Amino acid sequence: MSVVTALVRGAFLVNAVYAESGREYGLTPQQGQLLCVLMPGPSGMGELGTKLGLAKSSLTGLVDRTSRLGLVRREPDPEDRRAVRVTLTEDGARVAEDFYTETCRRVEELPGGLEAPERELLAELLGRVVRDNEVPVVFVDPA
């Protein structure tokens, strides 16, 4: 299998895990990603758009839908009165933690057929690809 095929099929595999975990929590994969991005703390809409790769209108809709579930809320940005930040609610923090833990567990199982040194090499190589391409932090390292 070529690198291109392996990366594309691997991305589909991880997306399927996100979708499966999300269904169990009543979330779309995008809502699950939003919750994970917000776990470290509140973010401005511009920063969220960059991290999630969403246009302003798409992000606004995502935040609106997730807010209606009671998982996130908008709050004034203390540094800019014209801006808002998005933060997890108490319920949102609980769901985010549960979703994150379950998603990590499932992703951890994907390379289950590899020996420990192979898993370490896979992590090292994928980590280099991510760093070299300056991928925003959208999922924190569970370690």
**Boundaries of every domain in the chain:** 3-132
Structure-token match 């590899």, residue found:
114
Structure-token match 């999630």, residue found:
52
pLDDT of residue 97: 94
Q: What is the mean pLDDT of residues 12-37?
A: 92
Q: How far apart are CA 24 and CA 88, in angstroms?
A: 19
pLDDT tens per residue across span 75-112: 998 888 888 899 999 999 999 999 999 999 999 999 99
CATH number for region 3-132: 1.10.10.10
Q: In Å, how far are 45, 108, 109 from 113, measured between CA atoms? A: 40, 11, 9
